[in-house]
Amino acid sequence: MVWSYDNCSYAFVGEQDRFNFCSLSDFSDPNFVYRVPIVLDYAIGNQSCSIANNSNAYLCNPNNTLCTNNTESGSGGYLCSCEYGYEGNPYLSPGCKDINECEDPNLNDCDGNATCTNTPGNFTCSCNDHYVGDGRSDEHGCTLQASQPQASQISTIKLSLVAIKKSKVMDGNQVEQFINELLIVTQVNHRNVVKLLGCCFESEVPELVYEYIPNGTLFQHIHKPLSWLTLDHRLRIAVEAASALSYLHSAASIPIIHRDVKSANILLDANYVAKMADFGASRLVPLDQTQVTTLVQGTLGYLDPEYFHTSQLNEKSDVYSFGVVLVELLTGKKPICLERS
């Protein structure tokens, strides 16, 4: 600094934007030299990248480097730097080497249930076995595949995945419910209803074989922290679920009342298309009737109050339950929450 021999003049080398002169006392601060860093500003030659690249004097290493024209000083020239995902000296051999982002969790955003794979200049995230998603913790992450209640995943001879529905405890009522579900779903053929592939009543515990729906229930996606469902996704799912109900009530050969419409009975397939599921409580309504008298069955919070008090079941009972699902979709709130006042 000049003031060491001339107290009337002050000069120093430092980064231009890191110092604002206030008073002479600034220069008396013993920590002054540490607060204002020195920056080396340079460029190679006076030629642009496009010209220098064709000359023998071009200094950027040929592997994984970028050439940038110097526009700061106005004197031309160029600078070399490593490409994204690489580090090292862009001028000297061996040059820029690939950064292994998978070795440092701060350099990758893979989900906790995903495997990070290093690639040249980048990395990929892939969900582990039995998990699905994009593998990124800031996107859809990885969700457990085998999340459907009482459903297990197996492979058929053609290597297609199916879901086996069976009860852990079987009694006469359970058998009757399984037979009822079989009678219902064999009459259903709609893209937004889970498809029955087969059944087995020869074992001690009857089994129903359904297409496997990998992305779990709508309930799980609505209520998990930082749900990925946008308003457009929610509206699309609502339309698809409504299409399934309309089919059951009006287009099936015999009208069907689902009787337990709720977000946990709406599944999302590999493309996040809504599929209505679980017809164990469903009832067929004879063509000459508009309602049937039954024992009240359903899920609290979704249950139609009129059906609850009269035991008279009709398609409006499903419509009420679906209305609760719509509110749940749009607000993200559970129908019953003990913490809510």
**Are 183 and 219 found together in one domain?**
yes
Considering the domain boundaries, does residue 90 fall inside one?
A: no
Considering the domain boundaries, does residue 178 fall inside one?
A: yes
Residue type (1 letter), 311: S
Q: How many CB atoms lie within 10 A of CB 111?
A: 23
Of 40, 56, 82, the last residue of a domain is 82
**Are 113 and 170 found together in one domain?**
no
**Are 37 and 64 found together in one domain?**
yes
Considering the domain boundaries, does residue 16 fall inside one?
A: no
**Are 177 and 324 found together in one domain?**
yes
The catalytic site residues sit at: 260
**Are 62 and 202 found together in one domain?**
no
Do 258 and 248 contact (CB within 8 A), yes or no? yes
Query: What is the pLDDT averaged over residues 313-322?
Result: 94
**Are 309 and 185 found together in one domain?**
yes
pLDDT at 120 over 80: yes
pLDDT classification of 199: cutoffs 50, 70, 90: confident
Considering the domain boundaries, does residue 7 fall inside one?
A: no
**Are 31 and 131 found together in one domain?**
no
**Are 175 and 272 found together in one domain?**
yes
Considering the domain boundaries, does residue 220 fall inside one?
A: yes
pLDDT at 318 over 90: yes
**Are 43 and 133 found together in one domain?**
no
CA dihedral defined by 219, 154, 211, 328, rounded to 10 degrees?
0
Considering the domain boundaries, does residue 252 fall inside one?
A: yes
**Are 109 and 189 found together in one domain?**
no
Tell me the pLDDT of the chain averaged across its residues. 83
**Are 36 and 132 found together in one domain?**
no
Considering the domain boundaries, does residue 14 fall inside one?
A: no
| Residue range of the domain that includes 193 | 161-334
CA-closest candidate to residue 111, choices 126, 98, 101, 96:
126
**Are 325 and 213 found together in one domain?**
yes
Q: What is the pLDDT of residues 228-275, one digit of tens each?
A: 888 999 999 999 999 999 999 998 888 999 999 999 999 999 899 999
Q: Domain holding 118: CATH number?
A: 2.10.25
**Structural domains counted in the chain:** 3
Q: What is the pLDDT of residues 84-96, one digit of tens each?
A: 999 999 999 888 9
pLDDT at 136 over 50: yes
Q: What is the pLDDT of residues 1-47, one digit of tens each?
A: 445 555 566 666 777 677 666 665 566 666 766 677 776 778 899 99
Q: Domain holding 230: CATH number?
A: 1.10.510.10
Rg (CA), the chain: 33
* 167-176, 201-210, 223-232, 260-269, range with the lowest pLDDT: 167-176
The vertex-220 CA angle with 152 and 239, nearest 5°, equals: 105
pLDDT at 147 over 50: no
The better pLDDT of the pair 121, 2 is held by 121
Task: Give the pLDDT confidence score for residue 309 in this predicted structure.
Answer: 93
Q: Count of H helices and E strands in the chain?
A: 7, 18
Considering the domain boundaries, does residue 94 fall inside one?
A: no
